Amino acid sequence: MSLFATKPIARIMRESEAGEHQLKRTLGPVNLIALGIGAIIGAGLFALTPKAAHDNAGPAVVFSFLVAAFGCAFAGMCYSEFATMIPIAGSAYTYAYATMGELLAWIIGWDLVLEYAVGAATVSVSWSKYLVRLLQTFNITLPPDLTKSYWEGGLVNVPAIFIICLISIVLIVGIQESARLNGLIVALKVTIVVLVIGLGFSYINKANYVPFIPPNTGEFGHFGWSGVMRAAGVIFFAYIGFDAVSTAAQEARNPQRDMPIGIIGSLAVCTLLYVGFSYVLSGIVNYKDMTDTAIYEALHNIGYDWLGTGVVIGILAGYTSVILVMLLGQSRVFYSMSRDGLLPKMFSDVHPKFKTPWRCNLVFMIFVSLFSGFVPLSSLGDMTSIGTLLAFVIVCGGVMIMRRTHPNIPRPYKTPLVPLVPILGILICFAMMASLDMMTWIRLVVWLAIGLTIYFTYSRTRSHLVTDPESDHGKT
């Protein structure tokens, strides 16, 4: 079998509807938008904004958010076209399988582990830090040895393990229950972000915006327009998650109508909140003085210390929903890969009552919680970003290929101005990838090498395209 053999869309759809491995369709457009917002608003808004402003872009971090949003918007339109054509679980993995062949599909499926599983572990460590901070406001102190990994001076990060296990159990119980919890969390954190923007707007000191784009220091990525691009690559982590909406396509009630609403709607809402938040924060606190706690300094400066506790709660809520959607997305990608024979059957076993891929959720609960509790994850944010950007590039390319190879397939949503929009998506995503440091690229190459080793030693010979090439029954 050729490494670039594609899987026919008719077969993909047929297999998704066959057998006992079926997911439950319960999500509407509001649920999908909330899933997108749940995954997007989290670490980036409160932690990455001051870092990117201080180190790279100054007040022009507002432009960095817009650059990242444009890249996501172009990719989001491409995701929407695929999600309505192939409304099943798997996201970019499934789209690559239908357009570019099994090898690239495997690469993108393995790459998505960086975005979802590693991303969830990274966020859980930050969740632990903010839980410790919140408890301290109530004079509750957790033993330091139980809130840090061995490599960070402790023994094990118990809160990080706890939140991964709790969210995994919620996901096993059911997608509708998970969506309800996510909806409540999203309402809470969006309310807090809007409060910060609304209360802070009248305290902006316009002198903090001068110069809006600080001159470059002579080093690429340190202010000037190269700094804006470097900041866009850094804060891109803040936008990760909208594509996780597409992993839930097989659980959407009306995916042809609702998937574009969920993907593009969540992107639009989050972009408005990001731009508004970064503009207000840069106006209250000079970018030269920004630290990781810039938001608390800003609230103190304008006399709203009481809102600081609310922000911590909002951050915890944000991180919780990010973890939920990341673990949801990861389990659905491996569910699809297992159905295709590229991973063991256990990853696509669906619970007879809950109709969720429960064994897959259990495996990732163990894997991600161990990662969260014992591995230092502070440097993995950029690695998560580069993995996601690579997925976006492949999806944008896939739309152009599909327009040529399958021009007559019904497309309830069509990406406008093809090939211009996909090309712009590829160029912007590549530009953000290029702005990241060399060590991030080296880690990506090593990660992909590990994935290719697994593919050639296990998955290739067990692929259903090899074991059942003429199937009309969608065996699993």
Task: For residue 16, name the pLDDT band (cuts at 50, 70, 90).
Answer: low
Task: For residue 15, name the pLDDT band (cuts at 50, 70, 90).
Answer: low
| pLDDT number for residue 114 | 75
Contact 204, 284 (CB under 8 A): yes
Name, in order, each residue with C-beta under 8 angstroms of 114's C-beta and a sequence gap of 6 or more.
383, 384, 386, 387, 388, 444, 447
CB-CB neighbours of 137 under 10 Å: 10
The two tokens of residue 292 are 């990781």
Q: Is 215 exposed, middle or buried (0-12, 13-18, 19+ CB in 10 A)?
A: exposed
Q: Give the residue, 226 or 436, on which the prediction is more confident.
A: 226
Structure confidence by residue, pLDDT tens digits, 115-139: 788 888 888 888 898 898 889 888 8
Three-class SS of 121-177 = HHHHHHHHHHHHHHHHHCCCCCCHHHECEHHHCCECEHHHHHHHHHHHHHHHHCHHH
Task: For residue 474, name the pLDDT band (cuts at 50, 70, 90).
Answer: very low
Please give the span between the terminal C-alpha atoms of the chain, in angstroms, as a whole number: 19
Contact 167, 324 (CB under 8 A): yes
Which range among 56-65, 129-138, 213-222, 293-302 has the greatest average pLDDT? 56-65
For the cut 80, the answer to whether the pLDDT of residue 18 exceeds it is: no
For the cut 70, the answer to whether the pLDDT of residue 220 exceeds it is: yes
> Helix-strand-coil percent breakdown of the chain, rounded to 5?
75, 0, 25
For residues 421-430, give the mean pLDDT: 90
Contact 61, 210 (CB under 8 A): no
| pLDDT number for residue 475 | 38
pTM above 0.85, yes or no: no
* Radius of gyration of the chain from its Cα atoms, rounded to whole angstroms: 22
d(CA 70, CA 374): 37
| pLDDT number for residue 50 | 86
Name, in order, each residue with C-beta under 8 angstroms of 359's C-beta and a sequence gap of 6 or more.
346, 347, 349
d(CA 448, CA 226): 28
Domains of the chain: 31-462 (1.20.1740.10)
What 3-state class would DSSP assign to 27? strand
| pLDDT number for residue 476 | 34
Structure confidence by residue, pLDDT tens digits, 359-396: 888 999 999 999 888 876 655 666 777 888 888 888 89
Structure confidence by residue, pLDDT tens digits, 226-245: 889 888 877 776 777 777 77
Task: For residue 351, name the pLDDT band (cuts at 50, 70, 90).
Answer: confident
d(CA 76, CA 33): 13
| pLDDT number for residue 423 | 94
What 3-state class would DSSP assign to 252? strand
For residues 18-22, give the mean pLDDT: 53
CA 168 to chain centre: 17
| pLDDT number for residue 377 | 63
How far CA 87 is from CA of 13, 148, 426, in Å, comes to 8, 41, 23
Name, in order, each residue with C-beta under 8 angstroms of 243's C-beta and a sequence gap of 6 or more.
75, 76, 79, 91, 92, 115, 263, 329, 388, 391, 392, 395
| pLDDT number for residue 452 | 93
d(CA 431, CA 264): 22
Task: For residue 454, name the pLDDT band (cuts at 50, 70, 90).
Answer: very high
| pLDDT number for residue 60 | 92
Residue type, 377: L
Per cent of the chain over pLDDT 70 is: 89
Structure confidence by residue, pLDDT tens digits, 144-181: 899 988 887 889 999 999 999 999 998 888 766 667 77
| pLDDT number for residue 89 | 61
Structure confidence by residue, pLDDT tens digits, 289-301: 887 667 777 887 7
Mean predicted lDDT score pLDDT of the chain: 82
What DSSP assignment string belongs to 375-426?
S--TT-HHHHHHHHHHHHHHHHHHHHHHHHH-TTS--SS--TTTTHHHHHHH
Tell which residue, 30, 70, 471, 464, has the closest CA to residue 266.
Answer: 30
